Structure 1
Amino acid sequence: MTMQTNVQTTVQKSVDHSALDDVQGLGLGIFLSGIGIYVLTSAGLITGQTAGVAVILSYLTGWSFGAMFFLINIPFYLLAYRRLGLEFTVKSALSVTLLSVMTELLPLGWTVGPMSQPLAALIFGAATGLGLLALFRHKGSLGGLGVVALLVQDTTGFRAGYVQLIVDAVIFSIGIFLFPGETVLWSLLGALALNMVIAFNHRRDRYVAT
């Protein structure tokens, strides 16, 4: 029993995250997510979750994605604090703020040229899915409905990726009435790719960190 306990303790310590680990992990997650969202909006596509709401509202109002995304996330911080703790809330608020700023700055140094919507959707799904995975593994998120998805997974075991798929279905159903059918179709491909990255890789029984 003592040997088993020592082995478990060693394994647990081997995956602890230092402050530097968190900084690079969260930074990478924000960077990848920002690239994905920039490609998405440059191709005129939409997506699900809180980011999707922000994208749709930015198209309809003319406000920037960064401003809409920052404002929409504010109400979710209280839920994150009450159910997931101060550390998660602070990291999520910081990640949302930095992503909002990043999406404003990216166009200043990078112009996305003409790109087919299917390719843009896949780039968005892969880059943003990996970005969110990095954020989740360092106790962060991009706030909003992602907080709800993580809360459901932690309390019921129902995977966060599947929760997001359900929410996405609702958002895309609304999008059908606002955007061309082809745009919605390829946008759905991007959302599916993103959520599959999370569903297949965000497993707490495979990855343990404190």
Structure 2
Amino acid sequence: MQVSSKDPKKHTLWEDIQGLGLGVFLCSLGLHILTSVGLLTGQTAGLAVIASYLTGYSFGVMFFLINLPFYVLAYRRLGLEFTVKSLISVTLLSVLTETLPLGMQFETLDPALGAVSFGAMVGIGLLAMFRHNGSMGGLGVVALLVQDSTGFKAGWVQLIADAMIFGTAFWLFPTPVVLYSLLGAVVLNLVITFNHRRDRYIAI
């Protein structure tokens, strides 16, 4: 349902909890699928996946650590509420990505299907979080800042960042792995680009 810019309606606490909770779960599930087929992604999660593969530390630990510096930027530019919600979301995602493998394993999963499933799930998950004034932190914070300041779409900002990350990945991983991973990143960012419009949905 669209909300008029002249009559904004603030989300209730329970609406925020369910929206952010659903977003975190879908993002965690998408990332579990991605790492199960040995693929990469862009954004801060992509940096964490690459760091996890290279160092041997788990994705959850690396994702939490890499996000820490971005909370300062989020607090200064987007406020305490956004920062707290993002911190909670990142922490929960880090925990979920550690526990999901305990209850869900894939015997067979085509890389292309895994990449598309990842992009769709995480894209929808991030939309739910954006609409409840949260994020997965990191480069997503920068993308939202750019969109709010200049009008340049957050999805396009993330595509540019992804291009830089995947350009580096070509030097570190086999070409098929990077290409399948790029497919997932494109799906994810297109979901955000075509569906995230603050002028159509402004409830916070």
CA distance in 1, matches of 2:5, 2:78: 25
| Counterpart in the other structure of 1:12 | 8
For residue 113 of structure 1, report the CA deviation from its aligned partner: 2.1
2:81 partner letter: E
CA RMSD of aligned residues (A): 1.1
Structure 1 residue runs of 4+, over 4 Å off? none
* Structure 2 match to 1:4: none
State which of 51, 57, 79 in structure 2 corresponds to 1:57: 51
| CA deviation string 1:18-53 (max 9, x = no partner) | 000000000000000000000000000000000000
Using the aligned pairs only, state the percent identity: 66
Give the paired residue count.
Answer: 201
Answer whether contact 2:5 2:199 (CA < 8 A) is retained: no
Task: Specify every segment of 5 or more residues in structure 2 that has no aligned partner in the other structure, as ranges.
Answer: none
- SS state of the match for residue 106, structure 2? coil
Question: Structure 2 matches for 1:1-210, cutoff 5 A?
Answer: 11-13=7-9, 16-210=10-204
Compute the displacement of 1:206 (Å): 1.1
- Structure 1 residue 8, shift from structure 2 partner: 6.5
One-letter identity of the residue aligned with 2:159: L
- Distance (whole Å) between structure 2 residues aligned to residue 102 and residue 149 of structure 1: 24
CA contact (8 A) 2:82 2:134 kept: yes
- Alignment partners' CA distance in 1, 2:144 and 2:114: 27
The structure where helix makes up a greater share of residues is: 1
Q: Secondary structure at the match of 2:8?
A: helix
Equivalent residue letter for 1:202: H
Superposition TM-score, scaled by structure 1 size: 0.94
TM-score (norm 2): 0.96
Q: Shift of residue 112 of structure 1?
A: 2.0
1: CA distance, partners of 2:47 / 2:74: 19
